């Protein structure tokens, strides 16, 4: 006799980002009648199939398909042939979307998103990375960078507001201000809003410009600065635990993972072959 799979639904609040939640459904078999949500819901199918109805249209969604339910939009969900499916949904408060519209110079009362994105675009990969980062990264700047990058792409290419975002002048000055702030405060927790205020542009534009001009995200740049300083401190103290704590990492394993990725050796191996 085939064992029935357990249905699991979890809701995760994201530390330091109070306006979003991540909802994960595993082995869900249920038909949800027409209903509405106050928040914007951006979901991705991770297993099986799901039928979603919105704006008078029903769509059979498969693995890696993305669905977007606008705030206050009536919709229903069905498990085809009562087969189980799994999904992850990011719930975002409406006030954040309105704030984003202002920062992108979009003067609409509201942004209306497409309900179905099924062409397996780069957006799919970005959403998977965003979910992983929101649930597993200990770095605020990392979580914010991926969130803002994803939302900008969603707004630019999959909403009623499809328009080019104005490009400010003095790109080098903007980058230098952001880099300078990270250079002087790389041990501290830094947010995109903080960098945005210092550089004088929106967090969306700053994040995109930084990645384009520097070649890595603001978060990656901050990690590189920490690791460079760590190399110096490791050879002075010889204590991996002490250096990882002083450099702002949550624990030694977190520090060692980034150190090995960037330096190519573990902190212990680096000490062994370089300490006089």
129-138, 176-185, 247-256, 267-276: least confidently modelled range: 267-276
Q: Which tens digit of pLDDT belongs to each residue from 123-153?
A: 899 999 999 999 998 889 999 889 988 988 8
pLDDT at 110: 65
62 pLDDT more than 80: yes
Q: Which tens digit of pLDDT belongs to each residue from 198-246?
A: 998 888 888 888 888 887 888 888 988 888 888 888 888 888 899 889 8
165 pLDDT more than 50: no
Query: Is the pLDDT higher at 77 or at 103?
Result: 77
pLDDT at 11: 79
15-19, 117-121, 140-144, 164-168: least confidently modelled range: 164-168
pLDDT at 2: 46
35-44, 52-61, 102-111: least confidently modelled range: 102-111
The per-residue pLDDT of the chain, averaged, comes to 83
pLDDT at 104: 64
61 pLDDT more than 90: yes
pLDDT at 127: 95
pLDDT at 164: 46
12 pLDDT more than 80: yes
Q: How many Å apart are CA 101 and CA 255, to the nearest integer?
A: 37
pLDDT at 34: 73
């Amino acid at each position: 006799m085939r064992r029935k799979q357990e249905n699991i639904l979890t809701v995760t609040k994201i530390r330091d980002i109070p306006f979003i939640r991540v909802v994960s459904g595993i082995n869900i078999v249920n038909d949800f009648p027409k209903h509405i949500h106050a928040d914007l819901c951006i979901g991705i199918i991770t297993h099986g199939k799901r039928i979603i109805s919105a704006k008078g249209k029903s769509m059979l969604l498969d693995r890696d398909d993305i669905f977007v339910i606008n705030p206050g939009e009536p919709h229903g969900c069905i498990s085809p042939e009562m087969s189980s499916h799994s999904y992850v949904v990011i719930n975002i408060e409406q006030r954040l979307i309105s704030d984003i519209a202002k920062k992108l110079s979009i003067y609409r009362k509201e942004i209306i998103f497409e309900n179905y994105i099924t062409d397996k675009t780069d957006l799919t990969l970005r959403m998977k990375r965003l979910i992983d980062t929101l649930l597993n990264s200990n770095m605020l700047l990392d979580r914010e960078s991926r969130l803002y990058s994803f939302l900008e792409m969603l707004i630019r290419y999959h909403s009623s507001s499809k328009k080019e975002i104005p490009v400010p002048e003095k790109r080098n000055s903007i980058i230098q201000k952001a880099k300078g702030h990270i250079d002087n405060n790389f041990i501290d927790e830094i947010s995109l809003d903080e960098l945005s205020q210092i550089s004088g542009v929106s967090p969306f534009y700053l994040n995109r410009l930084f990645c384009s001009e520097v070649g890595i995200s603001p978060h990656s740049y901050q990690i590189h600065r920490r690791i460079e300083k760590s190399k110096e401190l490791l050879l002075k103290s010889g204590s991996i635990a002490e250096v990882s704590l002083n450099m702002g990492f949550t624990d030694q394993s977190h520090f060692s993972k980034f150190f090995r990725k960037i330096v190519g050796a573990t902190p212990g191996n680096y000490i062994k072959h370089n300490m006089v």
